Amino acid sequence: MAVICKSPAELDKMHRAGLVVWRVLNELKQMVRPGMTTMDLEKYAARRVAEQGGRAAFKGYRGYPCVLCTSLNQEVVHGIPSAKRRIEEGDILSLDFGVEMEGYYGDAAVTIPVGKIAPETERLLQVTRESLDRAIDQARPGNRLSDISHAVQSWVEQNGFSVVRELVGHGIGTRMHEDLQLPNYGEPGHGPRLREGMTLAIEPMVNVGKPAIRILDDEWTAVTADGSLSAHFEHTVAITSNGPWILTRPREVDGPSW
Ligand code: MF3
Ligand code: CO
């Protein structure tokens, strides 16, 4: 398999899928309240993607049962929505969502505070989001893939947090996972050179404590091995001659990634 570069017309299709991802995630962000269950969010996302003519990309992917991943607190990623799981004041909630439209994919994630959270937890969210901003800034023609990885790791570790090793970002396009795995750690200057038209899902996963994770008996939910809190931010990004293009948000939005 090889890295697939997309034409401008293909990037427009990815952007259309990406805009559905962005809208749904933003609507979910606004509606999250203590007392809701993660299944309430799942149902809303399933309805909204259908209304916009998209197909939820996660449901049925390797047997994943839902359209949304909802990961609370020490859950890193791939938490499965449940009518038994109530969201509480002070939680952090990672929402991960993917859409396919016209054969092209968009994938993004955001971690949100539920009501008032501890200052150290605020800092976790901020540093993780900033690590994504810095990673995206490296997504330019001529740079190497590991320049992106290094941007995440260096910012996270300078700030006293740690980067999950077992899970990575990825190429994306006409499949949710295309060639190129993108670790969130590494020395700069290694790996393939980035070229115009490449599209990557960049997704730092950051723990307050140690990097190790384990998978729960549901075979999906990744949690921190030490029980510490974890955050996840993601965007689908195109490498263009004008610099990084975040496909999972409207063009008119700029500034921080989330
Ligand atoms: N955003 C995740 C990824 O890039 C979610 C996919 S896992 C799924 O791999 F099973 F939920 F689809
Ligand atoms: Co992804």
Q: Which residue type sits at 192?
A: P
Q: What is the pTM of this model?
A: 0.98
**pLDDT confidence of residue 1:** 64
Confidence of residue 2 (pLDDT cuts 50, 70, 90): confident
| Contact between residue 192 and residue 146 where contact means Cβ atoms under 8 Å apart | no
Say how many Å lie between the CA of residue 56 and the centre of ligand 2: 13
The ligand 1 atom at the shortest distance from the C-alpha of residue 59 is 12
| Contact between residue 205 and residue 230 where contact means Cβ atoms under 8 Å apart | yes
* Residue 107 CB less than 6 A away from ligand 1: yes
CA neighbours within 13 Å on the CB side: how many for 208? 18
| Contact between residue 192 and residue 171 where contact means Cβ atoms under 8 Å apart | no
Place of tokens 């060639």: 179
Please provide the distance, in angstroms rounded to a whole number, between the alpha carbons at the two ends of the chain: 32
Maximum Cα–Cα distance across the chain = 48
Ligand 2 ion: Cβ-proximal residues, 5 Å cutoff = 107, 201
Q: What angle do CA 202, 225, 257 make, to 5 degrees?
A: 20
| Contact between residue 56 and residue 49 where contact means Cβ atoms under 8 Å apart | yes
Angle between helices 145-158 and 119-137 (to 10 degrees): 160
**pLDDT confidence of residue 171:** 98
Instruction: List pLDDT tens digits, range 45-65.
Output: 999 999 999 999 999 999 999
Partners of 77 in beta bridges: 222
Average pLDDT over residues 89-105: 98
Look at ligand 1, atom 2, and give the residue with the nearest C-alpha: 96
* Residue 100 CB less than 6 A away from ligand 1: no
Instruction: List pLDDT tens digits, range 219-231.
Output: 999 999 999 999 9
Residue 182 pLDDT exceeds 70: yes
The two tokens of residue 68 are 């949304």
The ligand 1 atom at the shortest distance from the C-alpha of residue 172 is 4
The ligand 1 atom at the shortest distance from the C-alpha of residue 169 is 4
Ligand in closest contact with the CA of 199: 2
What are the chain's domains? 8-246 (3.90.230.10)
Instruction: List pLDDT tens digits, range 147-176.
Output: 999 999 999 999 999 999 999 999 999 999
